[in-house]
Structure 1
Amino acid sequence: MNNLWNGLIYKTWSPIYDRLFNTGHFLNARKEVFSRTDFHNNQKILFVGVGTGADLERINHKELDITAIDYSYDMLKKARAKFIESPIQFLKMDAQDMSFSDSHFDVVIGSLVLSVVPDSDKCLKEMLRVLKPIGEIIIFDKFIPKDKGLSPYKKALRPLIKLLGTDIGVNFEELYGKNKDTLTVKEDIPIMFNDMYRMIIIRKLNSEDKSL
């Protein structure tokens, strides 16, 4: 996967994305994820890889300070059309190289984005960079189940699925290992499909955490 290919593939996905990933199990999963969140009006909130805005439909967006980014112009166009009268700021931006200053947001939400970007580690590092020291990152995504590898069947399918714009082989435990000096996991909750999809809440390590 690369940004150019993702731009092309999500141009194709954009007209039908909501019919596939904002209904049924996915809709119920999004509802569960955001039923667990408690946003406040004074918080600055960033949605990374906002897509068609499916997550934004689950929150009281009119009363929050929200910035939403995506690399796909076509997906952003769909999202903007849903929230014409909302103060949400929509920006076309690469999640692996954000233009925001350090420690800018109170909450960063990455929903089905780490499995889409070409470099999930780079994306996670950027999410951590723009997060305030006492902020939280909320991740909803698919990962290799804990303590398990990909089955031979999934290994064979993985290259084809990546051509469709997503990766079934992202290992969160490996991502954590690469960033364990800068983050801590607050919650890790299985959401659907036999623990394949998880809600993971991350915060930055502070000086007290590092001294423990």
Structure 2
Amino acid sequence: MGNRWNEFVYKLWSPVYDRVFNSGKFLQVRKKIFQGNNFNENQNILFVGVGTGAELEQLNHTELNITAIDYTNEMLEKAKFKFKSSSIKFLKMDAQDMSFQDNHFDVVVGSLVLSVVPDVDKCIKEMVRVLKPNGEIIIFDKFAPEDKELSPVKKAVRPLIKLLGTDIGLNFGKMYEQNKETLSIKEDTPLMFNGMYRKIVMSKTS
């Protein structure tokens, strides 16, 4: 999956994205993502791959200093329309190559973005780079089981699902192993589909 392909796919997804991924079980899970996380108005918060702004709907955004980025114009426009009266800064930007300064944000939120970007490690390293020391990264995404391989069925359909804009075969443990010198795990909570979807909170250690 390259950036151009993802941009095309999520342009197609944009009219129906909320009906599929911001309703029913997905909406119930999204409401749990920020439980236990208390933000304050003095913090700089970054949403990476904000999409249609589904997570923003779960926050009292009027009191927060939020920047939100996405690579697909159509998804970004949906989010902008929802929050047109807010102070949220919406920017088109590549999550793998952000233009923000180092150590700028107190919290970085990545919802269903690691399973989309072409280079997961680049994305994580960019999140870490723009995060202040001791700041938090909050991840909501889908990951393969840590203790076993993908089933034959999932292996067979993985290439097709990638074409639809997401990867079902990411292994969080392997990704964390490459970044454990700068990150520590504070929370790892299964949320949906037998732990396929997880909430992971990490702190920047240096």
TM-score class, shorter-chain normalisation, is over 0.9
Question: How far apart, CA to CA, are the structure 2 residues paired with 1:149 and 1:133?
Answer: 35
Runs of 4+ with deviation above 3 angstroms: none
Question: How far apart, CA to CA, are the structure 1 residues paired with 2:125 and 2:70?
Answer: 17
Q: Deviations over 1:82-103 (max 9, x none)?
A: 0010000000000000000000
Q: Is 1:41 aligned to residue 41 of structure 2?
A: yes
Q: Aligned residue for 1:210?
A: none
Question: How far apart, CA to CA, are the structure 2 residues paired with 1:111 and 1:154?
Answer: 22
Question: How far apart, CA to CA, are the structure 1 residues paired with 2:144 and 2:59?
Answer: 28
Question: How far apart, CA to CA, are the structure 1 residues paired with 2:101 and 2:60?
Answer: 26
Amino acid at match of 1:18: D
Amino acid at match of 1:176: Y
Q: Aligned residue for 2:9?
A: 9
Alignment TM-score, normalising by the size of structure 1:
0.96
Q: Shift in Å at residue 134 of structure 1?
A: 1.5
Q: Deviations over 1:45-98 (max 9, x none)?
A: 000000000000000001100000000000000000000100000000000000
Match of 1:33, SS state, is coil
Amino acid at match of 1:8: F
Q: Is 1:56 aligned to residue 48 of structure 2?
A: no
Deviates more, 1:67-76 or 1:33-42: 33-42
Amino acid at match of 1:13: W
Q: Shift in Å at residue 35 of structure 1?
A: 2.3
Q: How many residues align?
A: 206
Question: How far apart, CA to CA, are the structure 1 residues paired with 2:2 and 2:28?
Answer: 30
Match of 2:174, SS state, is helix
**How many percent identity over aligned positions?**
68
Q: Is 1:174 aligned to residue 174 of structure 2?
A: yes
Q: Aligned residue for 1:203?
A: 203
Question: How far apart, CA to CA, are the structure 1 residues paired with 2:49 and 2:13?
Answer: 14
Amino acid at match of 2:63: E
Q: Shift in Å at residue 129 of structure 1?
A: 0.5
Q: Aligned residue for 1:24?
A: 24
Alignment TM-score, normalising by the size of structure 2:
0.99
